[in-house]
Amino acid sequence: MTAIRFGIRGTGSWAPDKRLTNADLSAMVDTSDEWIVQRTGIKERRILPPELTTSDMCVQAAQRALDDAGLAATDIDLIVLGTVTPDQQVPATSCKVAQRLGCESTPAFDLAAGCSGFVYASSVAAQFLRAGTYRNVLVIGAEALSRITNYNDRTSCILFGDAAGAVVYSTDFEYGELLSSSMQADGNGYDVMYQRAGGAQRPLSAERLAAAEHKLVIHGREVYRFAVSRMVELVKGEQANNPGLTLGAVVPHQVNLRILESAREKLGLASDRLYTNIDRYGNTSAASVPVALDEARRGGFFHDLDGQLVVMCAFGAGLTWGSVALKW
Protein backbone atom coordinates (compact mmCIF):
# COMPACT_ATOMS: atom_id res chain seq x y z
CA MET A 1 0.00 0.00 0.00
CA THR A 2 1.35 3.45 -0.90
CA ALA A 3 1.87 5.71 2.13
CA ILE A 4 -0.31 8.81 2.21
CA ARG A 5 1.79 11.97 1.78
CA PHE A 6 0.83 15.31 3.27
CA GLY A 7 2.30 18.71 4.08
CA ILE A 8 1.57 22.41 4.27
CA ARG A 9 -1.04 23.98 2.04
CA GLY A 10 -1.29 27.40 3.69
CA THR A 11 -0.07 29.47 6.64
CA GLY A 12 -1.32 32.59 8.40
CA SER A 13 -0.63 34.65 11.49
CA TRP A 14 -1.92 37.66 13.36
CA ALA A 15 -0.75 39.84 16.26
CA PRO A 16 -2.32 42.89 17.88
CA ASP A 17 -0.95 46.34 16.95
CA LYS A 18 -0.21 47.51 20.48
CA ARG A 19 3.47 47.21 21.37
CA LEU A 20 4.87 46.90 24.89
CA THR A 21 8.48 48.05 24.68
CA ASN A 22 11.35 47.51 27.10
CA ALA A 23 11.11 51.22 27.93
CA ASP A 24 7.43 50.71 28.88
CA LEU A 25 8.38 47.78 31.13
CA SER A 26 11.19 49.80 32.74
CA ALA A 27 8.51 52.22 33.94
CA MET A 28 6.54 49.32 35.48
CA VAL A 29 9.24 47.18 37.19
CA ASP A 30 12.91 47.48 38.14
CA THR A 31 14.49 46.51 34.82
CA SER A 32 16.17 48.10 31.81
CA ASP A 33 16.25 47.83 28.03
CA GLU A 34 19.92 46.83 28.26
CA TRP A 35 19.24 43.93 30.70
CA ILE A 36 16.28 42.59 28.72
CA VAL A 37 18.02 42.76 25.33
CA GLN A 38 21.23 41.23 26.68
CA ARG A 39 19.50 38.38 28.58
CA THR A 40 16.65 37.61 26.18
CA GLY A 41 17.01 39.43 22.84
CA ILE A 42 13.49 40.85 23.25
CA LYS A 43 12.83 44.50 22.34
CA GLU A 44 9.03 44.57 22.28
CA ARG A 45 5.96 42.35 22.47
CA ARG A 46 2.37 42.67 21.25
CA ILE A 47 -0.48 43.12 23.71
CA LEU A 48 -4.13 42.28 23.03
CA PRO A 49 -6.60 45.11 23.69
CA PRO A 50 -9.22 44.38 26.38
CA GLU A 51 -12.09 44.04 23.90
CA LEU A 52 -10.39 41.13 22.06
CA THR A 53 -9.59 37.61 23.17
CA THR A 54 -7.77 34.45 22.06
CA SER A 55 -10.53 33.31 19.69
CA ASP A 56 -10.38 36.67 17.84
CA MET A 57 -6.67 36.14 17.15
CA CYS A 58 -7.34 32.53 16.09
CA VAL A 59 -10.01 33.58 13.59
CA GLN A 60 -7.70 36.16 12.01
CA ALA A 61 -4.73 33.79 11.71
CA ALA A 62 -6.88 30.87 10.53
CA GLN A 63 -8.67 32.93 7.89
CA ARG A 64 -5.30 34.05 6.51
CA ALA A 65 -4.13 30.42 6.40
CA LEU A 66 -7.36 29.36 4.64
CA ASP A 67 -7.00 32.19 2.11
CA ASP A 68 -3.38 31.22 1.54
CA ALA A 69 -4.44 27.60 1.04
CA GLY A 70 -7.26 28.57 -1.31
CA LEU A 71 -9.71 26.59 0.82
CA ALA A 72 -13.08 27.38 2.40
CA ALA A 73 -13.77 26.71 6.07
CA THR A 74 -16.10 23.90 5.00
CA ASP A 75 -13.13 22.10 3.38
CA ILE A 76 -11.52 21.66 6.80
CA ASP A 77 -12.01 18.20 8.37
CA LEU A 78 -10.54 18.88 11.82
CA ILE A 79 -9.38 21.85 13.92
CA VAL A 80 -6.80 21.46 16.69
CA LEU A 81 -5.93 24.54 18.75
CA GLY A 82 -2.82 24.60 20.94
CA THR A 83 -3.28 27.12 23.76
CA VAL A 84 -2.98 27.61 27.52
CA THR A 85 -5.01 30.82 27.39
CA PRO A 86 -8.40 29.71 26.04
CA ASP A 87 -11.30 32.20 26.10
CA GLN A 88 -12.86 30.08 28.87
CA GLN A 89 -11.97 26.73 30.44
CA VAL A 90 -15.28 25.32 29.17
CA PRO A 91 -16.11 24.89 26.35
CA ALA A 92 -13.14 24.58 24.00
CA THR A 93 -12.17 27.83 22.24
CA SER A 94 -11.66 25.88 18.99
CA CYS A 95 -15.44 25.28 18.82
CA LYS A 96 -16.06 29.03 18.83
CA VAL A 97 -13.33 29.50 16.20
CA ALA A 98 -14.88 26.79 13.98
CA GLN A 99 -18.30 28.45 14.22
CA ARG A 100 -16.90 31.91 13.43
CA LEU A 101 -14.94 30.62 10.44
CA GLY A 102 -18.11 29.04 9.05
CA CYS A 103 -17.32 25.36 9.59
CA GLU A 104 -20.22 22.93 9.78
CA SER A 105 -19.99 20.05 12.31
CA THR A 106 -16.20 20.05 11.98
CA PRO A 107 -14.58 18.32 14.97
CA ALA A 108 -12.58 20.81 17.02
CA PHE A 109 -10.66 20.61 20.28
CA ASP A 110 -8.08 22.50 22.33
CA LEU A 111 -4.80 20.98 23.37
CA ALA A 112 -2.74 22.25 26.33
CA ALA A 113 0.97 21.50 26.03
CA GLY A 114 2.38 24.90 27.00
CA CYS A 115 4.80 26.36 24.49
CA SER A 116 4.83 22.97 22.69
CA GLY A 117 1.10 23.31 21.91
CA PHE A 118 1.51 23.95 18.19
CA VAL A 119 4.03 21.17 17.52
CA TYR A 120 1.96 18.74 19.61
CA ALA A 121 -1.16 19.75 17.63
CA SER A 122 0.76 19.25 14.37
CA SER A 123 1.72 15.73 15.51
CA VAL A 124 -1.94 14.99 16.26
CA ALA A 125 -2.95 16.31 12.83
CA ALA A 126 -0.28 14.13 11.21
CA GLN A 127 -1.79 10.95 12.69
CA PHE A 128 -5.21 11.67 11.13
CA LEU A 129 -3.68 12.63 7.77
CA ARG A 130 -1.35 9.63 7.66
CA ALA A 131 -4.20 7.28 8.52
CA GLY A 132 -6.32 8.67 5.69
CA THR A 133 -9.06 9.76 8.13
CA TYR A 134 -8.88 13.43 7.07
CA ARG A 135 -7.53 15.39 4.10
CA ASN A 136 -7.35 18.96 5.46
CA VAL A 137 -6.51 19.77 9.08
CA LEU A 138 -6.32 23.30 10.48
CA VAL A 139 -3.79 23.59 13.29
CA ILE A 140 -3.68 26.83 15.31
CA GLY A 141 -1.34 28.02 18.05
CA ALA A 142 -2.62 31.08 19.93
CA GLU A 143 -1.97 32.79 23.24
CA ALA A 144 -3.18 35.84 25.11
CA LEU A 145 -0.36 35.52 27.63
CA SER A 146 -0.73 39.15 28.73
CA ARG A 147 -3.96 38.03 30.47
CA ILE A 148 -2.04 35.75 32.84
CA THR A 149 1.27 37.63 33.08
CA ASN A 150 2.22 39.14 36.44
CA TYR A 151 3.36 42.67 35.58
CA ASN A 152 4.78 43.03 39.09
CA ASP A 153 7.24 40.17 38.53
CA ARG A 154 10.25 41.39 36.56
CA THR A 155 11.62 37.89 36.09
CA SER A 156 8.66 36.84 33.91
CA CYS A 157 6.75 39.91 32.65
CA ILE A 158 9.58 40.90 30.32
CA LEU A 159 9.19 37.66 28.37
CA PHE A 160 5.61 37.28 27.20
CA GLY A 161 3.47 38.55 24.32
CA ASP A 162 0.22 37.81 22.47
CA ALA A 163 -0.25 36.38 18.94
CA ALA A 164 -1.74 33.56 16.85
CA GLY A 165 -0.48 31.46 13.96
CA ALA A 166 -2.18 28.80 11.83
CA VAL A 167 -1.27 26.11 9.33
CA VAL A 168 -3.46 24.10 6.98
CA TYR A 169 -1.93 20.63 6.61
CA SER A 170 -3.28 18.76 3.61
CA THR A 171 -2.88 15.65 1.51
CA ASP A 172 -3.02 18.13 -1.41
CA PHE A 173 -0.05 20.16 -0.17
CA GLU A 174 2.07 22.91 -1.71
CA TYR A 175 5.39 22.57 0.19
CA GLY A 176 6.74 21.40 3.51
CA GLU A 177 5.94 17.69 3.28
CA LEU A 178 5.56 16.46 6.85
CA LEU A 179 7.91 13.49 7.18
CA SER A 180 8.09 12.86 10.92
CA SER A 181 7.24 14.37 14.29
CA SER A 182 7.81 13.76 17.98
CA MET A 183 6.14 14.54 21.31
CA GLN A 184 7.54 14.02 24.79
CA ALA A 185 6.74 15.06 28.35
CA ASP A 186 8.29 14.84 31.81
CA GLY A 187 5.99 15.66 34.72
CA ASN A 188 9.00 15.89 37.05
CA GLY A 189 9.12 19.44 35.71
CA TYR A 190 5.47 20.15 36.60
CA ASP A 191 6.56 22.94 39.00
CA VAL A 192 8.92 24.75 36.62
CA MET A 193 6.16 26.87 34.99
CA TYR A 194 2.65 27.07 36.37
CA GLN A 195 -0.48 28.99 37.34
CA ARG A 196 -1.10 28.23 41.00
CA ALA A 197 -4.86 28.87 41.14
CA GLY A 198 -7.76 28.65 38.72
CA GLY A 199 -7.95 24.89 38.24
CA ALA A 200 -9.68 22.05 40.11
CA GLN A 201 -6.84 21.78 42.61
CA ARG A 202 -7.08 25.40 43.76
CA PRO A 203 -10.24 27.07 42.46
CA LEU A 204 -10.22 30.86 42.24
CA SER A 205 -11.33 32.83 45.27
CA ALA A 206 -11.18 36.52 46.09
CA GLU A 207 -8.09 35.93 48.24
CA ARG A 208 -6.29 33.92 45.58
CA LEU A 209 -7.10 36.50 42.95
CA ALA A 210 -5.81 39.29 45.17
CA ALA A 211 -2.60 37.31 45.66
CA ALA A 212 -2.29 37.01 41.84
CA GLU A 213 -2.28 33.22 42.07
CA HIS A 214 -3.84 33.00 38.62
CA LYS A 215 -0.75 34.58 37.06
CA LEU A 216 2.13 32.67 35.51
CA VAL A 217 5.15 31.73 37.57
CA ILE A 218 8.34 30.56 35.87
CA HIS A 219 11.69 29.34 37.13
CA GLY A 220 13.68 30.81 34.28
CA ARG A 221 17.06 29.23 34.99
CA GLU A 222 15.58 25.73 34.98
CA VAL A 223 13.76 26.46 31.70
CA TYR A 224 17.01 27.76 30.27
CA ARG A 225 18.97 24.55 30.89
CA PHE A 226 16.09 22.33 29.77
CA ALA A 227 15.42 24.32 26.58
CA VAL A 228 19.01 24.31 25.27
CA SER A 229 19.47 20.55 25.68
CA ARG A 230 16.01 19.66 24.37
CA MET A 231 16.34 21.87 21.30
CA VAL A 232 19.62 20.18 20.35
CA GLU A 233 18.11 16.72 20.97
CA LEU A 234 14.97 17.49 18.96
CA VAL A 235 16.81 18.75 15.89
CA LYS A 236 19.32 15.87 16.00
CA GLY A 237 16.41 13.45 16.40
CA GLU A 238 14.70 14.72 13.26
CA GLN A 239 18.01 14.58 11.37
CA ALA A 240 18.33 10.94 12.44
CA ASN A 241 14.72 10.25 11.35
CA ASN A 242 15.47 11.67 7.88
CA PRO A 243 19.06 10.64 7.12
CA GLY A 244 19.08 11.43 3.40
CA LEU A 245 18.23 15.13 3.81
CA THR A 246 20.40 18.19 4.42
CA LEU A 247 19.31 20.31 7.37
CA GLY A 248 18.26 23.56 5.68
CA ALA A 249 16.67 25.51 8.53
CA VAL A 250 15.29 25.38 12.06
CA VAL A 251 12.16 27.28 13.10
CA PRO A 252 12.26 27.07 16.90
CA HIS A 253 9.95 28.16 19.69
CA GLN A 254 11.04 31.74 20.36
CA VAL A 255 11.98 31.23 23.99
CA ASN A 256 15.04 33.45 24.50
CA LEU A 257 17.66 34.51 21.95
CA ARG A 258 20.55 33.33 24.13
CA ILE A 259 18.97 29.86 24.44
CA LEU A 260 18.43 29.70 20.67
CA GLU A 261 21.96 30.87 19.90
CA SER A 262 23.51 28.44 22.34
CA ALA A 263 21.57 25.52 20.78
CA ARG A 264 22.42 26.75 17.27
CA GLU A 265 26.14 26.72 18.06
CA LYS A 266 25.93 23.21 19.53
CA LEU A 267 24.17 22.08 16.35
CA GLY A 268 26.79 23.71 14.10
CA LEU A 269 24.01 25.52 12.25
CA ALA A 270 24.80 28.73 10.31
CA SER A 271 23.23 31.82 11.90
CA ASP A 272 21.12 32.59 8.84
CA ARG A 273 19.54 29.11 9.00
CA LEU A 274 17.86 29.71 12.37
CA TYR A 275 14.69 31.81 12.10
CA THR A 276 14.16 34.24 14.95
CA ASN A 277 11.65 37.04 15.51
CA ILE A 278 11.71 37.09 19.32
CA ASP A 279 13.00 40.69 19.26
CA ARG A 280 9.58 41.83 17.95
CA TYR A 281 7.15 39.42 19.67
CA GLY A 282 8.79 38.06 22.82
CA ASN A 283 7.74 34.57 23.87
CA THR A 284 4.20 33.88 22.60
CA SER A 285 4.13 30.24 23.77
CA ALA A 286 2.06 28.02 21.42
CA ALA A 287 1.79 30.85 18.88
CA SER A 288 5.52 31.35 18.46
CA VAL A 289 6.35 28.54 16.00
CA PRO A 290 3.43 29.09 13.57
CA VAL A 291 3.94 32.87 13.63
CA ALA A 292 7.65 32.38 12.88
CA LEU A 293 6.87 29.83 10.16
CA ASP A 294 4.36 32.13 8.47
CA GLU A 295 6.65 35.16 8.62
CA ALA A 296 9.65 33.17 7.43
CA ARG A 297 7.76 31.75 4.47
CA ARG A 298 6.17 35.03 3.39
CA GLY A 299 9.53 36.77 3.80
CA GLY A 300 11.32 34.33 1.46
CA PHE A 301 13.43 32.65 4.18
CA PHE A 302 12.91 29.22 2.61
CA HIS A 303 13.45 30.27 -1.00
CA ASP A 304 16.64 28.27 -1.57
CA LEU A 305 15.73 25.24 0.54
CA ASP A 306 13.88 23.05 -1.95
CA GLY A 307 14.31 19.39 -0.99
CA GLN A 308 15.99 20.27 2.32
CA LEU A 309 14.93 19.49 5.88
CA VAL A 310 13.16 22.18 7.92
CA VAL A 311 12.70 21.35 11.61
CA MET A 312 10.17 23.08 13.86
CA CYS A 313 10.77 22.46 17.56
CA ALA A 314 9.34 23.63 20.87
CA PHE A 315 9.62 23.06 24.62
CA GLY A 316 7.50 24.35 27.47
CA ALA A 317 5.36 23.90 30.56
CA GLY A 318 4.66 20.36 31.65
CA LEU A 319 7.49 19.92 30.91
CA THR A 320 6.73 19.11 27.27
CA TRP A 321 8.78 19.13 24.10
CA GLY A 322 8.28 18.12 20.50
CA SER A 323 9.30 18.58 16.88
CA VAL A 324 8.06 18.40 13.30
CA ALA A 325 10.28 17.60 10.29
CA LEU A 326 9.29 19.02 6.91
CA LYS A 327 10.83 18.40 3.51
CA TRP A 328 10.73 21.81 1.82
Ligand X SMILES: CC(C)(COP(=O)(O)OP(=O)(O)OC[C@H]1O[C@@H](n2cnc3c(N)ncnc32)[C@H](O)[C@@H]1OP(=O)(O)O)[C@@H](O)C(=O)NCCC(=O)NCCS
**Residue numbers at the binding site for ligand X (CB under 6 A):** 31, 35, 39-40, 115, 154-155, 158-159, 193, 218, 220-221, 223-224, 255-256, 283, 316
* Catalytic residue chosen out of the listed positions 58, 115, 157, 313: 115
| 253 tagged catalytic | yes
Our answer to whether residue 115 is catalytic in this structure is: yes
Question: Least distance (Å) from ligand X to the CB of residue 257?
Answer: 9
Q: How far is the CB of 35 from ligand X (least distance, A)?
A: 4
CB-based contact 313:119 (threshold 8 Å): yes
- Closest to ligand X by CB, 24 vs 67, is 24
Helix %, strand %, coil % of the chain (to 5):
40, 25, 35
Residue 303, judged by CB atoms within 10 A of its CB (0-12, 13-18, 19+), counts as exposed
DSSP state for residue 189 in the 8-state scheme: G
Torsions phi, psi of 46, nearest 5?
Answer: -100, 140
Residues 6 or more apart whose CB falls under 8 angstroms from that of 279 comprise 41, 42, 43, 44, 257
Residue 324: burial class (beta carbons within 10 Å; 0-12, 13-18, 19+): buried
Residue with nearest beta carbon to ligand X: 220
Cβ-contact 320, 289 below 8 angstroms? no
Q: Return the number of the residue (63 or 323) whose C-beta is nearest ligand X.
A: 323
CB of 131 to ligand X, least distance (A): 31
Q: Which one, 128 or 315, has the nearer CB to ligand X?
A: 315
CB 245, min distance to ligand X, A: 28
Q: Which is nearer to ligand X, 71 or 218 (CB)?
A: 218
Q: Is 325 helix (H, G, I), strand (E, B) or coil?
A: strand
Residues annotated as catalytic are 115, 253, 283
